């Protein structure tokens, strides 16, 4: 198993919480929420801290701290990732769990929201220590998770191998095969086909619905993609295959640009061979900041948070910003884009394809009825397009601020579920 790290570890979604809190003030007013409704939304249903021992390779035992927050499960079992990060706090986990509630509600899948993880720097652990840490954490929380309680998934610095360890430890404790306890597994052990590119493709499905409304032809649309990890690389590849002109891509070290469009398969081959995007034949090298200000129609931030901010938002020339990263746009940039009539398709819907396909994996695990890749893609497209249309219809303003509309729709759905259960 290989885990790649930046020199500095990042938690990329704190800005998303800030954006949510800014929009939520207006939403509370629009919905005329009661004190009871506000209280219900303001507090997680369950949150807990666990302390558990791990036998290290040295033979010594080290204690670790883990968290799990199940924010709301009115619409279905809680759903949310497990992250291993040295800066993890219970307060931040609560924020992320609330955002999972909203994301699942926006795309209208029958899940609530949760989040969890362990306070650890995985760079400091051997493979064996990482496995023992994972199994120890699951032993500590196993009574609180399960296919009909709370279903974990990969998150920051966790991957499909760690999901296998989670499943295996949970099944060992409970003495039964229960693959639906976790999603993000390899296909060979109940994972779903198309999962590796589902986030990117889900975003493209949403974008194409927006392009139809804006009467923009995808064959003439110029795309710039910031970030060339799993999501960004797959997004660039899919854009190229679907006939878009991808004029710029970038990674940590910088990127390349060609006004005539880049041959993305060739760019990928070069990166895999050399470890860099730079000096690609027929293009010029650019910085990440130059990419964000490039002459394009569609800007796709698919890297870290806070990339679009007060210092560079005025320079953005794109007509549409498709947020495949978590929280790439600061509050100030969001205001600037609204003033410039740039359509921002927010991450809460744009990058929800991953959790949608996680829902498919869970459903297939429960029934042992596994779908072909074409069927997965068809179902993903239906949910993403329907969700975009729901959000777009929820815009009450003449000019749609989609972030606020998405939060508004999500809160309505959660509160409707609570009322039907008799909790309000």
- The pLDDT tens digits of the residues spanning 357-394 come to 999 999 999 999 999 999 999 999 999 999 999 998 88
Q: Which of 38-47, 185-194, 305-314 has the lowest mean pLDDT?
A: 38-47
- Asked if residues 300 and 225 have their Cβ atoms less than 8 Å apart, the reply is yes
- Whether 421 is covered by a domain: the verdict is no
- Whether 24 is covered by a domain: the verdict is no
Q: Give 348-404 as a DSSP string.
A: HHHTTHHHHHHHHHHHHHHHT-PPPHHHHHHHHHHHHHHHHHHHHHT--SSS--HHH
pLDDT at 114: 97
**The dihedral sign for the CA sequence 293, 299, 304, 305:** positive
**pLDDT of 313 strictly over 60:** yes
End-to-end CA distance of the chain: 47
Of the chain, the percentage scoring pLDDT greater than 70 comes to 92
Identify the CATH number of the domain in which residue 62 sits: 3.40.50.10860
- The pLDDT tens digits of the residues spanning 119-141 come to 999 999 999 999 999 999 999 99
Catalytic residues: 115
**Do 235 and 138 belong to one domain?**
no
**Do 98 and 214 belong to one domain?**
no
**Do 171 and 205 belong to one domain?**
no
- Whether 18 is covered by a domain: the verdict is no
- Whether 12 is covered by a domain: the verdict is no
- Which of residues 90 and 21 earns the better pLDDT score? 90
The residue among 317, 350, 383 that closes a domain is 350
Which CA distances in Å does 271 have to 256, 265, 266, 279?
11, 10, 9, 10
**Do 51 and 178 belong to one domain?**
yes
- The pLDDT tens digits of the residues spanning 176-221 come to 999 999 999 999 999 998 999 999 999 999 999 999 877 777 888 9
Specify the residue for token string 């109940």: 190
**pLDDT of 54 strictly over 60:** yes
Helices 264-274 and 230-241: angle between axes, nearest 10 degrees: 150
**Do 210 and 342 belong to one domain?**
yes
**Do 201 and 292 belong to one domain?**
yes
The residue among 166, 187, 208 that closes a domain is 187
For residue 230, the enclosing domain spans 197-350
């Amino acid at each position: 198993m290989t885990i790649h790290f930046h020199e500095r570890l990042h938690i990329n979604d704190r800005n998303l919480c800030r954006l949510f809190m800014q929009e939520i003030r207006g939403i509370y007013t629009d919905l005329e929420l009661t004190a009871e409704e506000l209280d219900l939304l303001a507090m997680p249903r369950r949150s807990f801290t666990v302390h558990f021992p791990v036998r290290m390779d040295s033979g010594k035992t080290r204690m670790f701290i883990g968290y799990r927050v199940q924010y709301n499960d009115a619409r279905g079992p809680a759903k949310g990732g497990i992250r291993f990060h040295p800066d993890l706090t219970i307060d931040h986990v609560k924020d992320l769990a609330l955002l999972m509630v909203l994301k699942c509600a926006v795309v209208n899948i029958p899940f609530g929201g949760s989040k969890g993880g362990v306070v650890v720097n995985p760079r400091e652990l051997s493979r064996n220590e990482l496995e023992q840490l994972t199994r120890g954490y699951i032993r500590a929380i196993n009574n609180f998770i399960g296919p009909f309680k709370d279903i974990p998934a990969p998150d920051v610095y966790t991957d499909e191998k760690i999901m296998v360890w989670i499943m295996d430890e949970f099944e060992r404790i409970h003495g039964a095969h229960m693959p639906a306890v976790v999603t993000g597994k390899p296909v060979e052990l109940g994972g779903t086909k198309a999962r590796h590119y589902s986030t990117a493709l889900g975003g493209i499905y949403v974008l194409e619905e927006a392009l139809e409304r804006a009467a923009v032809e995808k064959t003439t649309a110029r795309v710039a993609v910031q970030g060339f990890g799993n999501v960004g690389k797959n997004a660039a590849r899919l854009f190229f295959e679907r006939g878009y002109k991808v004029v710029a891509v970038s990674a940590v070290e910088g990127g390349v640009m060609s006004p005539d469009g880049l041959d993305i398969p060739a760019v990928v081959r070069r990166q895999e061979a050399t470890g860099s995007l730079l000096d690609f034949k027929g293009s010029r090298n650019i910085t990440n900041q130059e990419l964000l200000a490039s002459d394009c129609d569609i800007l796709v931030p698919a890297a870290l948070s806070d990339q679009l901010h007060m210092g560079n938002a005025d320079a953005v020339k794109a007509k549409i910003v498709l947020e495949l990263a978590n929280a790439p746009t600061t509050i100030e940039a969001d205001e600037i884009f609204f003033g410039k009539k740039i359509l921002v398709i927010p991450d809460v819907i744009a990058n929800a394809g991953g959790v949608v396909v996680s829902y498919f994996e869970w459903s297939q695990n429960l029934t042992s009825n596994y779908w072909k890749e074409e069927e997965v893609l068809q179902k993903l497209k239906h949910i993403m397009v329907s969700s975009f249309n729901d959000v777009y219809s929820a815009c009450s303003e003449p000019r749609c601020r989609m972030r606020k509309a998405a939060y508004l729709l999500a809160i309505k759905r959660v509160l409707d579920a609570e009322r039907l259960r008799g909790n309000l």
